[in-house]
Amino acid sequence: AELRKASKRLSCHKRYKIQKKIREHHRKVRKEAKKRGHKKPKKDPGIPSAAPFKEELLREAEQRKQKLQELKQKQKLNRQKEHEKKRKLETKKNAAKVKEKAEGKESSGKSKGKTKKQLNKNSKKSFCSELQKVLEASDVVLEVLDARDPMGCRCPQLEQVITCSGGNKKLLLVLNKIDLVPKDNVEKWLNYLKKEFPTVAFKSAVVMRNKTMEQVTKRRARVDFSETSQYFGSKCLLKLLQEYGKTQDKAIQIGVVGFPNVGKSSIINSLKGKRACSVGLTRGVTKSMQIVPLDKQTKILDSPGIIADPNNSALNLALRSIIDTEAPVSADVLEGVNALINHCSKQQVMMHYNIPDFRDPEEFLSLLARKRGMLKKGGVPDIESVAKLVLCDWTGARIKYYSQPPEFQKPPPYLTGQKIAEMQEGFNLNHLEQENSTTVQALKHPSAASSVVFQSPGMTNGIIEENKIIEEGSEWGNTETSKEAEEEEEEFTESDDDEDDMEEDDDDIEEVNEAPALVSLTQDFLFSGNEHSRSLSFSLDKPADEDDAYDFNTDYV
């Protein structure tokens, strides 16, 4: 039988006895305090009305009080920022610990070599090696371009490797996300790009049906498959590839390459007609080569995103490089947002985000943070999180913007007339042009007035060869960085506590000493007997170069 817990109820006799003891204790404490002589603090008598220069003294005191308040406010904001840094370091440290535990459990029964391979799965070198595998195994390479900035999605290093490979490799350009660009702009880009490579207009499916998605819709009928599962241009592309495969008399492999978040995996899902590859809004979802069979004669290869060269402009790096949403924001992200805002029409950005006029990108981010309620403790705008959100909006499908093609057609130096003819050989270009026009006509495009005009920064240089990568290990941090963060955190917590104590002591001293200063001033004015005593020599916190500053070193008769 289980023992019952003892009741906390007391008898009345016991309760009254306890209350009596408490009353006696309080009486004793009051008596001792009375014996010690508890003195009340002296009240500030203020400045008498008969005192000369009373207005100047009051003004001095008021200004000093305002300065103290401003100083306290600054100290409070600094403390909040430091505490926020502390919290970020703690969360990063906890996340690293959880990762280490999970990896330790997985690799408990495996060899050291296997664990090293798992740790390096997210590294830039592994991305490059997987991309090289796709390029070597492919007969036809599809370079996927975002229709909003096709020139910025082109990688000259990749195109040069394919055109100068010496084999019978072909390169096709797939202009994806054409539903986010005005119709006239799509036609201009198709006319521009087809002079260099065969170009296919495409609109991939955002969400594909599968078993998991069907289960979700049964519980919460929120996903509308009528719009999200529609795709255009897949029949044209499939027919083009199948006809090319017949001319080769062999099974062909098609590699899909491009920068992160241009829609490589979504195109494969659209061609397959179901969800064959994992897709997501974050960049870098695909980490290795995936083989998806389309039919008996055709296989399609998915690849990780091309690694952008660090020597690119800030805008190219912001839009085309992999960004970890969980990692703390670096200065590159804020630089990228600044460049992004500077390359757009200010009025159109204000209309899209529904915010008032702003002077610089920092003010834009703070206004957007306040509008969306992204605030830190104390109502400070969370600029770092908003910067990531803005970049995700521009690389995702949230913002409809477009860029104009160059006025003059100037092919890159590696693309000669002979190479262009070789790339176009084996494809029915007239049929392709007709299919592209029907695809463009079938889609609903946004108007130019509702879209944002964007100035393209030009082609983005990429790293194709594994040897050219300087960084080693994981792109999203390693154990050494977490150790450094821990050391910084320990040093920071010790210094932070000391600074807080010092600041509180200083504030108390300044508040206590403010009243005696006024009393001493009035005594000097009222009870000075000679001329020497009339000259007041003391220094206040007020700056000397203000117009209304009063000079107390002047002698008055």
Same domain, 342 and 422: no
Q: What is the pLDDT of residue 519?
A: 40
Give a yes or no: residue 90 inside a domain.
Answer: no
CATH code at 357?
1.10.1580
Q: What is the pLDDT of residue 490?
A: 44
Q: What is the pLDDT of residue 225?
A: 40
Q: What is the pLDDT of residue 15?
A: 94
Same domain, 297 and 256: yes
CB hemisphere CA count around 372 (13 angstroms): 17
pLDDT digits (tens, 9 = 90+) for 17-52: 999 999 999 999 999 888 887 666 777 777 788 888
Same domain, 194 and 272: yes
> Closest Cα partner for 244 from 424, 435, 430?
424
Q: In what order do the strands lie in the sheet with 252-257?
A: 199-201, 170-176, 140-146, 252-257, 298-302, 290-293
Q: What is the pLDDT of residue 70?
A: 94
Same domain, 323 and 288: no
Give a yes or no: residue 524 inside a domain.
Answer: no
302 sits in which H/E element: strand 298-302
Q: What is the pLDDT of residue 398?
A: 79
Rg (Cα) of the chain, in Å, rounded? 36
Same domain, 302 and 382: no
Domain total in the chain? 2
Tell me the C-alpha distance between 170 and 426, whole Å: 9
Same domain, 240 and 360: no
The sign one gets for the Cα dihedral 455, 457, 458, 462 is negative
Same domain, 284 and 331: no
DSSP codes of every residue in 467-482: GG----SBTT--HHHH
Q: What is the pTM of this model?
A: 0.59
Q: What is the pLDDT of residue 547?
A: 42
Which domain covers residue 459, as residue numbers?
122-207+227-309+401-463
Same domain, 234 and 146: yes
Give a yes or no: residue 415 inside a domain.
Answer: yes
What per-residue string of b and e applies to 9-22 under the rule 16 or more CB within 10 Å gives b? eeeeeeeeeeeeee
CB atoms within 10 A of CB 244: 21
353 sits in which H/E element: helix 346-353
Phi then psi for residue 107, to 5 deg, are -95, 15
Residues of the chain with pLDDT under 50: 111-119, 210-228, 472-557
Give a yes or no: residue 54 inside a domain.
Answer: no
Give a yes or no: residue 135 inside a domain.
Answer: yes
